[in-house]
C-alpha cells in the first residue's frame, strides 16, 4: 500500500538520444521524441507529466538529430531543462543515464522513456510512483503496465511481481503479467561499479534483482507504447476512443 510521502524527487531524465530505427521512415528526418501523437510531441508529453508531478529539473540526452531535440526541449516552460550531450558517442540507456548523473544530483530521480506514456486513470501515475518509493528497501521502483491490455505492445511481458512488489524476470519460456512501462524511480547508488561508456539499463535491472532491491507498482490507466508506425496509429486511435 502507498505510504505517506517522505521524499519527493526534484529531478528527472527523459531518454531521447536513440536512433528510432523501428519508427522508420518517420524518423528519417524527425527524431523519434519529436514525433507527434495526437498533435503533441512525445517529448513534450513527457515534460508535461513531469511538470504536473512537481518535478523541477528535466535532463534530456541527445544524439540522433541532436540539434532538433535540443532546440525543442529548451522551449519547455516551467522546467529547468538540461541537455546531456551524446553527440560524440551514443551511450545506450544505462550509459546515458550515468553520464547525466551530475545533472540529476544525489537523490532518487524519475526516469522516463520518451516513446511511452499513459492515458491516466484515477490517480496520476507519477504520484503513485513517488508515494510507493521506500528508500530502505529499493534501488529502483518501476511503473508497470499489465501485459494484457497494453497498446502498441505484442511481447510476452517482462516481470513477475510478488505480494510485496519485488520483481523478478520472467522465464524465457513463459509469459509475464507485467511490462516495464519505461518510467521508473531510481537511486543513483545503483550506478556504483557500473562500466564506463555504453551499457544497457538491463544491467541495472539485473543488479537490483540480484540484491533484492528491484520493485514495481502497477500503473493506473492505459499504457501506450509508440515504438513503430503501427504503434503510433494504435496510440492515436486509443486517445480518440478515450475522448468519446
Q: Report yes or no: 59 and 100 within 8 Å, Cβ to Cβ.
A: yes
Does residue 101 form part of some domain? yes
CATH at 73: 3.90.550.10
pLDDT attached to residue 2: 45
186: pLDDT strictly greater than 60: yes
97: pLDDT strictly greater than 90: yes
Does residue 184 form part of some domain? yes
Give the residue numbers spanning the domain of 23.
11-243
Does residue 46 form part of some domain? yes
Q: At CA 181, angle to CA 25 and CA 54, rounded to 5?
A: 105
Does residue 3 form part of some domain? no
pLDDT attached to residue 4: 53
Give the contacts of 83 (CB within 8 A, at least 6 positions apart).
Answer: 59, 60, 61, 62, 70, 73, 74
82: pLDDT strictly greater than 80: yes
pLDDT attached to residue 5: 56
Q: How many domains does the chain have?
A: 1
Write down the pTM of the prediction. 0.92
Amino acid at each position: 500500500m502507498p505510504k505517506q510521502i517522505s521524499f519527493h524527487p526534484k529531478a528527472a531524465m527523459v531518454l531521447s538520444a536513440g536512433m528510432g530505427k523501428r519508427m522508420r521512415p518517420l524518423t528519417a528526418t524527425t527524431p523519434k521524441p519529436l514525433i507527434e501523437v495526437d498533435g503533441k510531441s512525445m517529448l513534450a508529453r513527457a515534460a508535461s507529466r513531469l511538470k504536473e508531478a512537481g518535478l523541477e529539473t528535466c535532463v534530456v540526452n541527445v544524439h540522433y538529430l541532436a540539434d532538433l531535440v535540443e532546440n525543442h526541449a529548451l522551449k519547455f516552460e516551467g522546467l529547468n531543462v538540461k541537455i546531456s550531450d551524446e553527440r560524440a558517442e551514443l551511450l545506450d540507456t544505462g550509459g546515458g543515464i550515468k553520464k547525466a548523473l551530475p545533472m540529476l544530483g544525489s537523490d532518487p530521480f524519475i526516469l522516463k522513456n520518451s516513446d511511452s506514456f499513459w492515458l491516466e486513470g484515477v490517480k496520476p501515475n507519477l504520484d503513485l510512483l513517488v508515494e510507493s518509493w521506500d528508500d530502505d528497501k529499493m534501488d529502483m521502483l518501476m511503473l508497470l503496465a499489465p501485459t494484457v491490455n497494453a497498446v502498441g505492445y505484442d511481447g510476452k511481458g517482462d516481470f513477475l511481481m510478488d505480494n510485496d512488489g519485488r520483481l523478478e524476470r520472467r522465464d524465457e519460456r513463459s509469459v509475464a503479467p507485467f511490462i516495464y512501462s519505461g518510467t521508473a524511480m531510481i537511486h543513483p547508488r545503483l550506478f556504483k561499479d557500473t562500466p564506463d561508456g555504453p551499457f544497457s539499463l538491463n544491467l541495472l535491472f539485473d543488479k537490483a534483482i540480484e540484491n533484492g532491491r528491484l520493485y514495481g507498482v502497477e500503473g493506473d490507466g492505459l499504457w501506450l507504447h509508440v515504438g513503430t508506425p503501427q504503434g503510433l496509429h494504435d496510440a492515436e486511435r486509443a486517445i480518440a476512443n478515450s475522448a468519446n
